[in-house]
Amino acid sequence: MKKIFLISIILLLFSTFATAQVNLNFGSDSPMRKMQMAEIAISNFYVDDVDEQKVVEDAIRGMLKNLDPHSTYTDAKETKAMNEPLQGDFEGIGVQFNIIDDTLVVVQTIINGPSEKVGIAPGDRIVMVDDTLIAGVKMNRIDIMKRLRGVKGTKVKLGIIRRGVKGMLNFVVTRAKIPVHTINAAYIIRPGIGYVRLESFGIKTHEEFMQSIDKLKQQGMQRLILDLQDNGGGFLEAAVRIANEFLQDNDMIVYTEGRRVPRQDFKARGNGRLKDIPVYVLVNELSASAAEIVSGAIMDNDRGAVIGRRTFGKGLVQRPFELPDGSMIRLTVAHYYIPSGRCIQKPYKKGDKDDYDMDLENRLKNGELTNPDSIHFTDSLKYYTVRKHRLVYGGGGVMPDYFVPLDTTKFTAFHRKLMAKNIIMDTFLKYVDNNRKELKKDYKTFESFKKQYEVPISITNQIIAEAKKEKIEPKDSDELKKTLDYMRYQLKSLVARDLWDMTEYFQIWNEQSDIVKKALEVIEKDSNK
């Protein structure tokens, strides 16, 4: 069996590297032979029983640990969970839910989804899945999702408690394909200015993006804000297709190159539908990988303005190696370079992931996130844009054209403590759950909600009271005022999301965003030129 497994791995390597030269050493002194002998020794002679699968997995993880921070191993379950958000859909019952007082509460049902079709409604409490009680037993979110999701066409019996109805209602739901959307929001933020926020780059991102663009054009969009804040990346192809929409024929988007991987160029094809639309890209320290490719391509080709803070700096290319049991090795094989020649990847020490993980915290301590004067570059990091030959800097990530400092006074220490203890979210969830019907009755449209709704003082008072029980208090009245101002925006945004969707959430939230405000300011100046 071991021999068969080894042969399958070898065949996999040959097929994966069909276009590259592969050196395989099976001699008596080879590392591969040494590793195989170690595994045989452990499995056959170790004093206690061992899990051979775990021994091998730990060995793989140990090998990768001493390489770069992004070479990883995932088992079959981890691989499936990692890939699912980018695949465009999953199979399940089609509900959005929250956990309130250890009970699953349906927030929304997917339109025309399997749950909506059988009559499940927002506010319903799912207490039974098949014959398993899931309410009041402290079952974690992942285990609940495992029970609700399943193969398309399979049936699941749900026991539901509904307000105003005595006893438990039983529903049989046939699982189906449920779409996963990577666009958080798309709307006209100001007359003639469209706003689109991408959460990640998945298989269907380009299709969704262009559908949103078409709708915004119909509403009179003449300029576009492309928000890639907190976008952790995704598929390279999706990033290339998005960037292609803005660039001229043969414009470089990104190229990759590695020790054993020859340079590969990704260029625009000249068929983009947004080549004449002024674009403003929003980024922050959590914008990574594919998000950096798009923002870097637009910046280096002098195609639009990038606004915000230096991006994460994830410029390592991982090639997936799928193993026979469904597990996967994602191995770094090359670097990403944007058109000016800058490598996206920030510096790192091999094998020191802790130092790598501290990078963002170090940026905050060094003042980079809050003060542009704290940002320094050496002459060796100088690069120039393609068309206008503007000076830009390498060193990892994409430094924006317009820097927007992180306002640490908005998000106070008191607020952070409230969030850490989940006091705000717990109070919000209970409030919406108790008042959903009344809110929908009072606010028939989002426009009326946006203009008229004010967060009740009773909610913020309740949050402060719950905080006191946890011995969490503001240091003074000024911190309390700042916290309450910020919290009201947060709560109003969350209520909007619960009653409608993420687009409505961002329509509220963006009104206090310093990066969005800066983009609107830059657009106004450009319009007056």
Alpha-helical regions (H) of 132-178? 141-148
Q: Which two tokens stand for residue 427?
A: 């109070």
Pairing relationship of beta strands 193-198 and 223-227 according to DSSP bridges: parallel
DSSP per position, 89-109: EEEE--EEEEEETTEEEEEEE
Distances (CA, A) of 25 to 22, 223, 262, 514: 10, 57, 23, 56
User: Which H/E stretch holds residue 63?
Assistant: helix 52-65
The token pair at 250 is 């043969």
Instruction: Please give the structure tokens belonging to residue 435.
Output: 């008042």
Residue partners of 466: CB distance under 8 A and separation at least 6: 423, 426, 427
- The helix/strand/coil state of 448 is helix
> Measured on CA atoms in the order 356, 359, 360, 361, is the torsion positive or negative?
positive
- Contacts of 242 by beta carbon, 8 Å cutoff, 6+ apart: 198, 201, 205, 206, 209, 294
Closest to 85 in 3D by CA, of 175, 173, 174, 178:
178
Tell me which DSSP letter residue 280 carries.
E
Signed CA dihedral, 405, 409, 415, 416: sign only: positive
Report how far residue 449's alpha carbon sits from residue 363's, in angstroms, rounded to the nearest whole number: 39
Task: List, by residue number, the catalytic residues.
Answer: 289, 300, 314
If you count them, how many residues does the chain have? 529
d(CA 197, CA 246): 16
Give the distance, in angstroms, between the CA of residue 522 and the centroid of all CA atoms in the same chain: 27
CA distances (Å), origin 390, targets 145, 244, 471, 474, 510: 50, 22, 53, 46, 30
**Which bin fits 20, alpha (ψ -120 to 50), beta or left (φ > 0)?**
beta
- Whether residue 512 contacts residue 454, with contact meaning beta carbons closer than 8 Å, is answered with no
State the Cα–Cα distance between residues 92 and 89, nearest whole angstrom. 10
